[in-house]
Amino acid sequence: MSETYTTNSMSVKETTDELKDLEADFANLVLLAAAGSSEDLRLLLAKLVRKYRTRRPEFAERINQALKSTQTRATGPSVLRRGPPQSEASPLPMDADSRLSLIRVFDDLAGLEAPLLTEGLLKQTQSIVRERRERDKLSLHGIRPTRSAILVGPPGVGKTLSARWIAAQIGKPLWILDLTTVMSSLLGKTGNNLRAVFDHARANEAVLLLDEIDAIAKRRSDESDVGELKRLVTAILQEVDAWPDTGLLLAATNHPELVDPALWRRFDVILTFEQSDPSTIEAAARRFLGPDALAYEPFLHLLARSMHGNSLSDVERAITSMRRDAVLNGLAPADVAAALAAQHIDRLDKPAKLELALHLARANAMSHNKIMSLTGISRDTIRKYAGPSPIKGRGRSKEG
């Protein structure tokens, strides 16, 4: 009897605590709505989705759907304001002639894996997110959060994915300037399109990405460009200077040498992306392998070393193709991993090939014969440094 009473008492207490928790969350929502802080309101809603996803999945999904339904609309200063739908009053900006949207939208509020970055670069991106989340705390000390950042690096290293992740972490979709629609052969038209995008993004406290910024902000000393493009650079500089700290302005370029020097000084932060090292490629390969990662674990080092120098997007395509080949043709992980590595391994120098051969031998991933065939390192050399192979047999071994 006493045990039943104790259980019931705990149940009542848990229910009471949960109600208090809900009341506190509701009170915070009301405060943010009353203050007209749409950015902070969206951020809190996104947090509530994550918070209640396990305990109250239906409730969390209702919040999530409500958030998504307003995410790409111009909601004005308050998402809870009465009156006609704001999306009808202020749709996404469009090109007047083609009637195509000037903005592409990535909505990753449902969740997005963190980009695979170096430790220092990851800390920089996390710092931008934290500043946005704790903007009020900075404001009390008269400090503005980072308003703008430019992402620099070769193609396929995760610039756009990082921008999407930053936006998702602060409870926003990512708006990307669509150059194919914005750029026009008509004098003055491109500038008008750009101003429409900036005005709309500022009004909605958006996270806006100017991808391939070098295409519209080239050095004004470039004699090959017409005067219209040079005036366009000046207009962009003015827009960046006027960007408010309620939104976040990002830019990305694969060709930093083409960007006008004056633009660099306008951005608060420069995020430099470099080609991934083998450890990052190994982590990427493990992620891209998904449910097959365990089966390929002995060959991850091989894949990472052989594909060193490739972009992460290239690695993803190669890994996906490898998995597809294995499934359709019934091939063993060792065989498809070796086949993929063979396509790239000639770029490695002899010391790198030796290191790779010894790693495979010590991990018992392949026979010495197969390692020799793949790396070009002789069996005698492998045996000398790694010891005899536990995998019996010569020639074509039955591995996998």
What mean pLDDT is predicted for residues 74-95?
47
Instruction: Say which range, 192-196, 232-236, 389-393, has the weakest mean pLDDT.
Output: 389-393
- Stretch 260-289: mean pLDDT: 90
Annotated domain spans of the chain = 2-71, 92-272, 278-386
List, for residues 94-107, the tens digit of each pLDDT value: 877 778 888 899 98
Residue with tokens 């995410």: 71
Strands (E), the chain: 103-106, 148-152, 174-177, 207-210, 248-253, 269-272
53 pLDDT more than 60 = yes
pLDDT tens-digit map of 218-239: 766 655 555 566 777 888 888 8
Cβ–Cβ under 8 Å, residues 116 and 280: yes
Question: What would the two tokens of residue 303 be?
Answer: 């894949």
160, 182, 191, 232, 266 from 260: Cα distances, Å: 21, 19, 17, 11, 11
Which class is 92-272 in CATH?
Answer: alpha beta
**Cα–Cα distance, 20 to 143 (Å, whole number):** 34
Among 167, 156, 129, smallest CA distance to 273 is for: 156
Q: By the 8 A CB rule, do 134 and 175 touch?
A: no
Instruction: Choose among 235, 228, 233: nearest CA to 187.
Output: 228
